[in-house]
């Protein structure tokens, strides 16, 4: 006779997983493969998730880091994180077919930065050094036009040319709380600093962090499905820990869970970063059901209904299909 399985409450965060920008970017690669045939080159991972990348590779996408790894005669897609202006300029010089999958909310930050620059402002970008989105945003303007700010301490070290001609923008996938502290310090030091018309941190990042905060103090452990190079996924782990959960862990899938170390847990929270597909979430729930007597509860903080249009070249193809 089999032993009785330990009861376990699984709290499932909502919203979680794919956001509209990620969904659009993946559709762009799939649409480019349909329209142009394989191979289609993609500069940088289209989104930060190996599961997604490997599925698209199986369909004929080839992922590269730089444009000089792409042949002139095949289409190239630019990733959801955005690219410096020099990249499409070089593609146009080489007479390449290219499709820009930059998330529209990232493009909004690019437009803001350009507007501030045109108005004669020095621009501060709140973000993480080396992240593709930061590289893309800084590459919208001439060298030196944008200064990266990562911490409150960075704000204290700033010595702008003219404190009255400053503006800031932010990476879209940051921790809301961390960014608030930096913005507060900026506005305290430079009261005239121009802020974004609308919050730069995207709705999906904010909603997923809110859902994790809501569940954290009810959980013995929170699992965030995502990739270590996914900024919004890493931030979800940090948000869970700050919100009071005993332990939060980033995993790529159920295969990464060390089941032997879970111990006498009673409640587990599950969420997924904005580039993690729902099938990985369901796979983790299935893995828990195989080991525990699971009671599943979805914790909904809001419903998302955002959709972004495809680029014209692919939208026309979809309309004609």
Residue positions annotated with a catalytic role = 133
Specify the 3-state DSSP secondary structure of 78. Answer: strand
Cβ neighbours, 10 Å, residue 321: 8
Residues forming a β-bridge with 248: 222
Strands 146-149 and 76-78: unpaired
Give the C-alpha distances (Å, rounded to integers) separating 240 from 8, 159, 215.
19, 35, 8
E-strand spans in the chain? 7-14, 40-43, 61-64, 76-78, 98-100, 122-126, 146-149, 166-170, 221-225, 248-251, 267-272, 293-300
Residue by residue, DSSP assigns 261-294 as G--S--EEEEEE-TTS-HHHHHHHHHHHHHHSEE
Strands 40-43 and 267-272: unpaired
Is 191 within 8 Å of 240 (Cβ atoms)? no
Task: Give me the count of residues in the chain.
Answer: 321
Q: Rounded to 5, what percent of the chain is helix, strand, coil?
A: 40, 20, 40
Give the C-alpha distances (Å, rounded to integers) separating 198 from 55, 112, 137, 187.
35, 10, 17, 16
Is 218 within 8 Å of 187 (Cβ atoms)? no
């Amino acid at each position: 006779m089999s032993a009785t399985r330990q009861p376990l409450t699984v709290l499932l965060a909502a919203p979680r997983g794919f956001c509209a920008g990620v969904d659009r970017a993946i559709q762009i690669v799939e649409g480019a493969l349909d329209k142009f045939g394989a191979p289609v080159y993609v500069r940088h991972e289209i989104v930060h998730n190996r599961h997604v990348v490997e599925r698209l590779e199986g369909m004929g996408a080839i992922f590269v880091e730089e444009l000089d790894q792409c042949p002139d005669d095949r289409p190239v897609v630019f990733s959801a994180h955005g690219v410096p202006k020099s990249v499409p300029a070089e593609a146009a010089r080489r007479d390449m077919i290219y499709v820009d999958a930059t998330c529209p909310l990232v493009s909004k930050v690019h437009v803001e930065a350009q507007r501030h620059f045109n108005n004669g402002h020095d621009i501060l970008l709140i973000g993480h050094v080396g992240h593709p989105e930061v590289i893309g945003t800084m590459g919208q303007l001439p060298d030196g036009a944008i200064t990266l700010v990562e911490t409150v301490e960075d704000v204290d070290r700033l010595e702008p040319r003219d404190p009255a001609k400053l503006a800031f923008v932010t990476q879209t996938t940051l921790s809301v709380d961390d960014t608030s502290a930096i913005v507060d310090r900026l506005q305290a030091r430079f009261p005239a600093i121009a802020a974004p018309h609308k919050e730069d941190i995207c709705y999906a990042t904010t909603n997923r962090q809110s859902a994790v905060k809501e569940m954290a103090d009810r959980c013995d452990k929170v699992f965030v499905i995502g990739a270590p190079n996914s900024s919004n996924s890493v931030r979800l782990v940090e948000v869970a820990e700050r919100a009071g959960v005993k332990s939060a862990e980033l995993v790529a899938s159920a295969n990464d869970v060390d089941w032997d170390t879970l111990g006498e847990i009673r409640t587990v929270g599950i969420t997924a970063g904005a580039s993690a597909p729902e099938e990985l979430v369901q796979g983790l729930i299935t893995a828990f059901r195989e080991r525990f007597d699971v009671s599943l509860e979805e914790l909904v903080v809001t419903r998302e209904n955002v959709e972004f249009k495809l680029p014209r070249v692919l939208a026309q193809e979809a309309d004609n299909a």
